[in-house]
Amino acid sequence: MPESGSLGEVVEFSAFETPLQTGVNLIEASAGTGKTFSIAMLVLRFVVEKKLSIEQLLVVTFTKAATQELKTRIRSRLQNLRSYLLSPEVTDLDAAFMRWADQLDDSQSVIQRVTEALAAIDNAAIFTIHGFCQRMLKQHAFESGASFSAKLITDDSMIVRQALLDYW
């Protein structure tokens, strides 16, 4: 995935080397460019390098299928790193991943963090945009003034019809 460098130059994006910044990070690219791969790797790096728990990260995407794929890939990356650090002779991993893993300090603490992340992966905040918004409205119902039983309406034709009839 190319990203913009200084003065409009295009540089190749690397999920293994890009600087990690806490806060909001956006990955936007065309289909088939490696977004899911990159997001899974960045989540792993935040857990390992920034020492964040899996519950401290939020990943938001567009579709339910994408959220499921991200959960699967993140779990896989965590398992890959744990297996590689426990048995470095594992060679079915990509070379860039192994180079990144080889430069990690204190593999025992990394194994511990990854093991904790794997144990908590089902609590990982990986949502669709609608799912995240709905969860926030429910969790902060008093602050937002939203009903506890707020539901996502996918077909608003009846509401539009009623509004038109009310107006008419």
Give the per-residue pLDDT at 11.
64
Instruction: Give pLDDT tens digits for 27-41.
Output: 888 888 889 999 999
Instruction: Give pLDDT tens digits for 64-107.
Output: 999 999 999 999 999 999 999 999 887 789 999 999 999 999 99
Distance, in Å, from the CA atom of 149 to the CA atom of 146, rounded to the nearest integer, reads 8
Which residues neighbour 136 within 8 Å (Cβ) at sequence distance 6 or greater? 144
Q: Is 152 exposed, middle or buried (0-12, 13-18, 19+ CB in 10 A)?
A: exposed
CA dihedral over 94, 96, 99, 105, signed as positive or negative: negative
